């Protein structure tokens, strides 16, 4: 088995590799036919294996690279660690506003922030370790390359595994746009940016989607001079325009230079510098010089080299494996979950899909007991500062579906805790079916929007109306009170003229 290395070489990354791709790992001898063979040990694969094994199934889990997948190694965990360091530095820079002194020599410690990230990632990696899945959960873990070789067989580096059902959870990888000179000049992506130990003085970020915005803001706060190149006219084009505008204003206030409506023509290297040749929104051709380029957009599914064609699994190299609403591929014995097949590219979506796969692959009988991906209520969050979190329909989605809605919006400044924390930027916006309190969608812009959105996710899932939030007692002061204030806006619409006249009549006799 080849030895994998994660850069930079230090004790933290050695610990990481020791957990998620141990150099001394010995693959087990196959112990007969498996209920499930799972290809890929990212979130979807890990949860599929854990749940199936916990329910008594015999499971083999195969991983060719690092267990934990993108989330642990190059996604959620490292990015959120860096975002936290950057936010803390930003807060420290506001100490004067908070009544605290700031030393004259205050400066970001980029190398320290990156080391903190590596330490946290290594510490968390035990949760996804090969040894834990073998010893705690009884999963047979194989490290190596997997390929389908027959109707019910998978080869792992010369060892044959027999299965009743198989699940493909191989995820996706970063890709770069076809800009002349980009590959030759060299670039960073979300899989390599976390190897940095030295801060790039000038960083150009291609794309103003979630990854681009999160890292652009963080690197600016960590001391880089950041420019975003975006072909559209705003950031986060899929989000609520009002929400995206607030985040854009904050990122610009942090000092990030945003070039909208730009076309990147080519990139060349001049000494240690990278020169970006671009056309601006008004048609001017200009040069922009940076030290590093980060590609913050573009993903491709990992579908190559597994012999999918030989077992009748239909796929598109750009979109991924084709699955039905039950996450079943064109081969009824093979399922798929996660980024390799789903539009929702979120860790929590992969987690939820894995549970659907286990149910449908092992515990359904014909149409009985089958679960559908489309039944999920899926929230998401972009971890800028402030964060944007959303669940359900946007107002435009509702209009496109012919659903008339009433919208209730309250600023975060209505929650006193947000004011005391200096985090009053943002809002809570809720869409309900017109004339009712049935919630069909919600967007929150707040410092902790990702924590708050779960209340609306639960409400939509359990059919709890917006009016019910008005009867919930929130501890005072908390930022969650903004949700109660939004519910109060709805409640006031129930005070119709007829109801008011009735109250006025009653009150005549109460004085």
Q: What was the pLDDT predicted at 510?
A: 87
Residue 9 burial class via C-beta count within 10 angstroms: exposed 0-12, middle 13-18, buried 19 and up: exposed
Q: Is it true that the peptide bond before 486 is cis, omega within 30 degrees of 0?
A: no
What H or E segment, with its residue span, contains residue 12? helix 11-20
- DSSP SS3 for 409: strand
pTM of the predicted structure, to 2 decimals? 0.96
pLDDT in tens, 478-496: 999 999 999 999 999 988 8
Q: For the chain, what percent of residues have pLDDT higher than 90? A: 91
Q: What is the mean pLDDT of residues 247-256?
A: 98
* Nearest CA-CA partner of 47 in 175, 213, 211, 167: 167
Query: What does the pLDDT read at residue 442?
Result: 98
Nearest to 190 by CA among 299, 86, 116, 341: 299
Same fold, 11-174+300-375 and 182-297: yes
Please give the Cα distance from 375 to 41 (Å, whole number).
25
Q: What is residue 1's predicted lDDT score, i.e. its pLDDT?
A: 57
Cβ contact 481:470 at 8 Å: no
Average pLDDT over residues 298-307: 97
pLDDT at 497: 86
Antiparallel, parallel or unpaired: β 59-63 and 34-39: parallel
Instruction: Determine the Cα–Cα distance for residues 304 and 501; give it in Å rounded to an integer.
Output: 70
Give the CATH fold of the 386-494 domain.
Answer: Enolase-like; domain 1 (3.30.390)
Residue 26: CB atoms within 10 A of its CB come to 8
Tens of pLDDT along 82-117?
A: 999 999 999 888 766 777 777 767 789 999 999 999
CATH of domain 182-297: 3.50.50.60
pLDDT mean across residues, the chain: 96
- The per-residue pLDDT for range 4-39, each reduced to its tens digit, is 999 999 999 999 999 999 999 999 999 999 999 999
pLDDT at 104: 67
Domain limits of the chain? 11-174+300-375, 182-297, 386-494
**315 in Cβ contact with 322 (< 8 Å):** yes
With residue 354 as reference, give the H or E element that holds it: helix 347-362
User: Does the pLDDT value for residue 191 go beyond 60?
Assistant: yes
Q: How confident is the model at residue 306 (pLDDT cuts 50, 70, 90)?
A: very high
How high is the pLDDT of residue 2? Answer: 64
We find that the CATH architecture of domain 11-174+300-375 is 3-Layer(bba) Sandwich (3.50)
> What is the predicted pLDDT for the residue at 101?
74
> What mean pLDDT comes out for the span 441-461?
98
Q: For residue 73, with 0-12 CB atoms within 10 Å meaning exposed, 13-18 middle and 19 or more buried, which class applies? A: buried
Say how far apart CA 267 and CA 276 lie, in whole Å.
5
CB 443 within 8 A of CB 392: no
In angstroms, rounded to a whole number, what is the distance separating the alpha carbons of residues 146 and 11?
A: 30
Please state the rounded mean pLDDT for residues 170-189: 97
pLDDT above 70: residue 158: yes
């Amino acid at each position: 088995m080849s030895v994998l290395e994660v850069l930079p070489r230090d004790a933290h990354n050695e610990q990481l590799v020791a957990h998620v791709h141990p150099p001394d790992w010995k693959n087990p001898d196959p112990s007969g036919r498996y209920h499930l063979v799972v290809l890929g040990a990212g979130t979807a694969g890990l949860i599929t294996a854990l749940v199936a094994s916990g329910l008594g199934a015999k499971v083999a889990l195969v991983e060719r690279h690092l267990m934990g997948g993108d989330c642990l190694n190059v996604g959620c965990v490292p990015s959120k660690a860096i975002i936290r360091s950057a936010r803390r530095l930003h807060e420290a820079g506001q100490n004067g506003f908070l009544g605290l002194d700031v030393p004259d020599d205050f400066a970001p410690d980029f190398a320290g922030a990156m080391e903190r990230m590596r330490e946290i990632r290594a510490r968390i990696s035990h949760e996804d370790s090969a040894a834990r899945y073998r010893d705690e959960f009884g999963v047979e873990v194989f490290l190596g390359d997997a390929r389908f070789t027959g109707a019910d067989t998978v080869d792992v580096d010369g060892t044959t595994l027999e299965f009743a059902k198989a699940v493909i959870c191989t995820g996706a990888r970063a890709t770069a746009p076809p800009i002349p000179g980009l590959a030759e000049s060299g670039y960073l992506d979300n899989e390599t940016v976390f190897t940095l130990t030295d801060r790039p003085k000038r960083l150009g970020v291609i794309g103003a989607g979630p990854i681009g915005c999160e890292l652009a803001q963080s690197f600016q706060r960590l001391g880089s001079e950041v420019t975003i190149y975006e072909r559209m006219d705003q950031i986060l084009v899929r989000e609520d325009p009002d929400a995206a505008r607030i985040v854009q204003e904050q990122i610009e206030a942090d000092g990030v230079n945003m070039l909208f409506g730009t076309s990147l023509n080519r990139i060349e290297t001049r000494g240690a510098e990278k020169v970006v040749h671009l056309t601006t929104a008004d048609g001017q051709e200009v040069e922009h010089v940076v030290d590093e380029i980060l590609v913050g957009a573009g993903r491709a599914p990992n579908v190559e080299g597994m012999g999918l064609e030989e077992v009748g699994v239909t796929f598109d190299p750009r979109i991924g494996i084709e699955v039905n609403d039950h996450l079943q591929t064109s081969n009824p014995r093979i399922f798929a979950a996660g980024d390799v097949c789903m539009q929702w590219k979120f860790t929590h979506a992969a987690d939820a899909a894995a549970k659907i796969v286990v149910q449908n692959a092992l515990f359904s009988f014909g149409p009985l007991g089958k679960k559908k991906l489309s039944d999920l209520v899926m929230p998401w969050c972009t971890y800028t500062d402030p964060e944007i979190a959303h669940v359900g329909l946007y107002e435009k989605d509702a209009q496109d579906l012919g659903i008339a809605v009433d919208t209730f919006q309250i600023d975060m400044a209505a929650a006193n805790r947000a004011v005391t924390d200096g985090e009053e930027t943002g809002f809570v916006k809720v869409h309900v079916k017109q004339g009712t309190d049935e919630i069909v969608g919600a967007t929150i812009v707040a410092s902790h929007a990702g924590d708050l959105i779960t209340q609306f996710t639960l409400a939509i899932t359990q059919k709890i109306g917006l009016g019910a939030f008005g009867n919930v007692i929130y501890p005072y002061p908390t930022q969650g009170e903004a949700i109660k204030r939004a519910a109060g806006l709805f409640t006031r619409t129930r005070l119709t003229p007829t109801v008011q006249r009735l109250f006025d009549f009653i009150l005549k006799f109460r004085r």
